[in-house]
Structure 1
Amino acid sequence: MTEEIIIAGFGGQGVLSMGKILAYSGIMQDEEVSWMPSYGPEMRGGTANVTVILSDERISSPYLKIFDTAIILNQQSMDKFEKTVKPGGILIYDPNGITHHPTRNDIQIFQIEGNKLASEMGNKKIFNMIVLGGFLKIKPIVKLENVIEGIKKSLPERYHHLIPLNKEAIKKGMSSINPYKVEEQLQNT
């Protein structure tokens, strides 16, 4: 099993930490892991993306041009990465701020209202964990207990009191992701 993932959005949305948590989770499952971040000098507010590869075999290169899964959190990333999903792959996105929704019919597309749900839960910083939960519902490639351990490893100890909230956010995401039907959307426009 090899899963090649791109997570992309604005800096400050937790894109890199979501990737790091996935990578730590894979390590705890004795998988081969690659985590390769990419971001501009502006960091917060600029675009950021991270490539994560989890595999039970050696990973030959962290550099990829096509992916099994794309997790998209802003319009610029949608424009850039929708076309990089392999046919038969998965695209997951938060519709907040998306003006041009995905149009491909050769991939599975899912929507998760992470931004809205994080606001409803009272903490915008758990947005990325809601989206991660949605991804893990569709592709349970790492176990929830390993994700929690990954959160512990990636969060400074002074923030460990937030781990229960992050776990709640992951579970909220798992129950809140929905298929997106391109055909239905095209008929409605």
Structure 2
Amino acid sequence: MRQEMIIAGFGGQGVLVMGQILTYAGMLEDKQVSWIPSYGPEMRGGTANCSVIISSEPIGSPIVYEPTAAVVMNLQSFDKFESMVQPQGILIVNSSLINKETKRDDIKAYGVPVSEIASELGNPKMANMVALGALIAATGVVERESLFKAFAKKFVSKPQLLKANQEAIQRGYDCVTEGI
């Protein structure tokens, strides 16, 4: 098993945190992992992305050129990364902010209204966790429980965030598994 993923959006959407938590979850499952962040000079509002590889075999290079899966949180990221996804790959699209659909018929795309769901849950900052739930449902790269544990470890000093973010992950997961 090997998943090479790109997670992309505006700075401030939590794309780097998504990658970190996903990587931690892979480590909890004793998988080989790599995480490389990339962002422009603006921390909030500029573009940001990260590359994540989770594998059962050693990882020779942490660079992702043709991801097996991508999460795009804004239109700029959709335009940049949609074409890079490998045939038979997965594309998770924040349909709350992206009003485009892929024209590719060789990938599986999931339009998930992550920003809307996060707002419904009472905190727009949880959109990244909704998207992360959708990603693990579509790829099976890590187990949900591992993701919950990784979130708890990352935010150990903020235990009050755990329950709401677990719900956000679950809602994203359900969007893919139940076709919501």
Give the TM-score normalised by the residue count of structure 1: 0.90
Q: What is residue 33 of structure 2 aligned with on the other side?
A: 33
Which amino acid is 1:175 matched to? D
Deviations 1:95-116 (A, max 9, x none): 2232433211111111100100
Q: What is residue 137 of structure 1 aligned with on the other side?
A: 137
Deviations 1:59-94 (A, max 9, x none): 010112101001111111111100100011111101
Q: What is residue 170 of structure 1 aligned with on the other side?
A: 169
The alpha-carbon distance between structure 1 residues 106 and 151, as it changes in their structure 2 partners (threshold 3 A), is same
Which amino acid is 2:173 matched to? M
Does structure 1 residue 85 correspond to structure 2 residue 62? Answer: no
The alpha-carbon distance between structure 1 residues 62 and 156, as it changes in their structure 2 partners (threshold 3 A), is same
Percent of aligned pairs with the same amino acid: 45
Deviations 1:144-188 (A, max 9, x none): 22111211222250x2211011111111111123899xxxxxxxx
Which amino acid is 1:30 matched to? D
Residues 1-189 of structure 1 aligned to structure 2 (within 5 Å): 1-155=1-155, 157=157, 159-177=158-176
How far the C-alpha of 1:37 sits from its partner, in A, is 0.5
Structure 1 residues without counterparts, runs of 5 or longer: 181-189
Root mean square deviation, CA, Å: 1.6
The alpha-carbon distance between structure 1 residues 156 and 12, as it changes in their structure 2 partners (threshold 3 A), is farther
The alpha-carbon distance between structure 1 residues 179 and 40, as it changes in their structure 2 partners (threshold 3 A), is farther
Structure 1: how far apart are the matches of 2:78 and 2:12?
17
Which amino acid is 1:64 matched to? V
Greater CA drift, 99-108 or 20-29: 99-108
Kept in 2, the 8 Å contact 1:118–1:124? The answer is yes
How far the C-alpha of 1:131 sits from its partner, in A, is 0.9
Kept in 2, the 8 Å contact 1:111–1:178? The answer is no
Q: Which has the larger radius of gyration?
A: 1
Structure 2: how far apart are the matches of 1:41 and 1:59?
29
Deviations 1:108-148 (A, max 9, x none): 11110010011111111111111111112212221222111
Deviations 1:13-67 (A, max 9, x none): 1100010000000001010000000001111110000100000111010112101
Structure 2 residues without counterparts, runs of 5 or longer: none
How far the C-alpha of 1:6 sits from its partner, in A, is 0.3
Greater CA drift, 138-147 or 11-20: 138-147
